[in-house]
Homo-oligomer: A and B are copies of this chain.
Amino acid sequence: MSKNPPVFPDYSPGVMSLIPLFYVGWADSVLSPSEVKLIDKKISALGFLTSKDKDILSDWCNPSKPPSKELFKNWVSILKKASKEMPAESRKSLADIGIEMALKTAHKEDSDAVHWHSPDTKASILELEKALGLVSLEGFSHVFSPAQIEQERIEILDKSNLDVKELTAILDDDYPEFRNRLRTLFSDAAFKYPELPDKDDFRLHVLQWTKYLADQGLGSISYPKEVGGEDDMGKYCALFEMLGYHDLSLAIKFGVQFGLFGGSIQWLGTEKHHQKYLKDTGSLDLLGCFAMTETGHGSNVRGLQTTATYDPESDEIIVNTPTEMDGKEYIGNALHGRMASVFAQLIVNGENHGVHAILVPYRDDAGNPLPGIRVKDCGYKLGLNGVDNGRLWFENIRVPRENLLNKFGNIDGDGNYSSPIKNPSRRFFTMLGTLVGGRVCVPRAGLSAAKSGLTIAIRHALNRRQFAPSENEPETLLLDYPSHQRRLMPLLAKAYALDFGLTYLAKRFVNKSEEDIREIETLAAGLKSYATWFTTESLQECREACGGKGYLAENRFADLKADSDIFTTFEGDNTVLMQLVAKGLLSDFKKEFHDEGFKAVWKMVSNQIYSSVAEKNPIATRNTDVEHLLDIEWQLSAFRFRERKQLYGVSQRLRSLMGKRLAPNDAYMRCQTHMLSLANAYVERVVLEQFAEVVK
């Protein structure tokens, strides 16, 4: 840098009018020698320029002598100064800005400024702008303040084909007004994010939030109308998604209380339980928890060790935890709760009828554990520290026979067990199936977190600049880097696709019938896994894409990532669920795999695989025209083909292994990774179909 920076003249209005054009032209390095000559020629023909103006401008058009660093900086300071004095709405194009600058200069010089108002002048400059091929103000925007840039963005968006309202309506599905109500609610000062590193403080805060929601009647919207509910499961799904935008600790606390605890009473209990408990559950007067998972048994629910033994003498059920490892673990609401819906092996007259749920009060009104109950805090967790997860052990706790949630298995006054479903395995899966709502809702809240993260990362990428191509140029916007686009844009597209997929799942779930419940369970297992893995992946990418700013708690990734991390585990470990999906596919959604065992499935599948081979492989056509590749019909058939091919492949492998007299379970073990791949192909096909459907 020279020691004495050159002093520039005060430019005339004519020169000022073209500075924006020259600045952007040189800054973006868009000027080739031939273009520069063209501009020089066009300038010499402009009537509103003095010959002195033309000399200066011609000098700036010399391709062998690009503007000096100092001249360039002078332009920047002129533009910065001008931008401050100029309302945002007047800056529609470089020509607009130039004319605005000329007007100011003309006024200052007190000379005749009339031709700066002439449309012809503007048209001439616009023509030059067009010749330069400048289509956006982007390369220019760093000289303006963020607020002005934001204003321009909104204007650009307004002019684009994207109808924000229409898109919002699609994403809001059936509950636009309800969602707006929630948006207002979460904007309330009461829902401001607190900074409460101590888990006990944070938990009380989230409890308070939950209470606010219950006071708004939101706790019971999925419950029957007879107990004050709205009987609207679809609305509950929408609510859960909206909770996910606010805070995941709140979403989970809410889901445990109203969805899991309340849901177990609603779906596994009968009229007497509804009448007795649901109203207080919905209003949060009865805080309850869902005590299913044990330390020793999580995914394998059938293997739970807690026992519930009927004692005919006293007409009571005795709930007992055999060993330390059989205690209930990770139980949400355990610290604040009063009553637990305990899943245990139900033993009547010495016979084990499998897992049933029993309501067990475990604290008195003052919050002290009842005799024989041990409660232990799970302590700090990776995330969701606003949820009070704890451990529970029961030492021969006696509850009345009526506390058995008896929709699928009852003990009558004579102490005899009966069930509407005779087959114990089918009974077990039917009971669990009623609770599939968790798997429908959890991925929605997870996707909300991913959407929040994507919004933050993309906004950041539209504001943050780093590294200039050369010293004369502004730094490059992060989102203008292809690597940055590749990081974020496919994730954004997938977030939309998954939104549509999950909305489809929710609708299927709400309208489920006896016939399609198995299919919905497979769908829920697959979408839950796929969407929650997507949440983990995309939040990680977004955090990294925001650099150090992404690491600060105030920018939300700390909570978004940590809170959503467990989504891949709870409501069923993703890897386990994806194997269930593959097994479901192998039985072609028609049979209950769990009951029938592998051989029946195998027979059925082997009848099908040959027909699928005969079908044409659309990939084989090797057509790589853009039109063909973007054709949704072709994409769909490719996804369908992949799924069918994998189904066939896995089936072949299984048959071959069993031909070697391998036990069915061992054969499955050997095909495990192929099965996971099949499940993935299935989910992606379903999601693409839904995406195509909504786009249509």
Contact = CB atoms under 8 A, between A and B. Distances in A.
Interface of A: 1-5, 29, 32, 195, 197-199, 293, 297-300, 303, 329-330, 349-352, 378-383, 466-470, 475, 480-484, 486-487, 536, 540, 543-544, 547-548, 550-554, 557-558, 561-562, 565-566, 568-570, 573-575, 579, 661, 663, 665-666, 669-670, 672-673, 676
Contacts of A382: 543, 550-553, 557-558, 561-562
7 contacts: A378-B552, A381-B558, A382-B550, A469-B666, A481-B669, A536-B540, A558-B562
Given A298-B547, A570-B548, A349 B381 contact: no
A668 to B, nearest CB: 9
Q: How many copies of this chain are found per oligomer?
A: 2
B329 A548 contact: yes
B548 A293 contact: yes
A202 to B, nearest CB: 9
A330 B569 contact: no
A379 B552 contact: yes
A565 B553 contact: no
A300 B466 contact: yes
A543 B536 CA distance: 12
A538 to B, nearest CB: 13
Contacts of A3: 349-351
A197 B198 contact: yes
Given A3-B351, A543-B382, A543-B565, A303 B553 contact: no
A666 B661 CA distance: 61
B543 A540 contact: no
B351 A29 contact: no
Given A303-B468, A467-B299, A574-B544, A195 B380 contact: yes
A217 to B, nearest CB: 32
Nearest to A201: B197
Nearest to A566: B551
A381 B553 contact: yes
B481 A298 contact: no
Nearest to A560: B382
Contacts of A557: 382
Contacts of A29: 663, 665-666
The 8 closest A-B pairs by CB, nearest first: A380-B553, A382-B558, A469-B665, A197-B197, A483-B672, A482-B672, A551-B566, A330-B548
A332 to B, nearest CB: 12
A579 B466 CA distance: 14
Contacts of A329: 548
A575 B483 contact: yes
A331 to B, nearest CB: 11
A687 to B, nearest CB: 21
A27 to B, nearest CB: 12
A257 B82 CA distance: 45
A558 B3 CA distance: 55
Contact of A665 (B470, B487, B568, B661): B470
Nearest to A473: B665
A32 B666 CA distance: 14
Contacts of A350: 1, 3-5
A523 B654 CA distance: 46
A661 B30 CA distance: 11
Given A383-B558, A544-B568, A561-B565, 16 more contacts: A1-B351, A3-B349, A5-B350, A197-B380, A298-B466, A299-B467, A299-B547, A300-B466, A382-B561, A482-B670, A483-B676, A543-B565, A544-B569, A544-B574, A547-B573, A558-B562
Contacts of A379: 195, 552-554
Contacts of A574: 544
Contacts of A198: 197-198
A466 B299 contact: yes
Given A29-B663, A199-B197, A544-B569, A1 B552 contact: no
A349 B481 CA distance: 38
A660 to B, nearest CB: 11
A350 to B, nearest CB: 5
A291 to B, nearest CB: 14
Nearest to A548: B330
Given A380-B558, A381-B558, A548 B298 contact: yes
- Most chain B beta-carbon neighbours within 10 Å: one of A469, A486, A550, A565: A565
Contacts of A552: 378-382
Contacts of A199: 197
B561 A547 contact: no
Nearest to A302: B467
B482 A669 contact: yes
Nearest to A554: B379
Nearest to A348: B3
A383 B543 CA distance: 12
Contacts of A548: 293, 298, 329-330, 566, 569-570
A666 B673 CA distance: 42
A552 B381 CA distance: 4
Contacts of A483: 575, 579, 672-673, 676
A391 to B, nearest CB: 11
Given A382-B543, A382-B558, A551 B536 contact: no
Contacts of A297: 466
A672 to B, nearest CB: 5
Nearest to A661: B32
A645 to B, nearest CB: 21
Contacts of A380: 195, 197, 552-554, 558
B536 A565 contact: no
Contacts of A469: 663, 665-666
A682 to B, nearest CB: 17
A554 B198 CA distance: 16
A198 B480 CA distance: 39
B544 A381 contact: no
Contacts of A540: 536, 540
Contacts of A569: 544, 547-548, 550-551
A487 to B, nearest CB: 8
Contacts of A562: 382, 558, 562
Contacts of A195: 379-380
A7 to B, nearest CB: 13
A379 B29 CA distance: 42
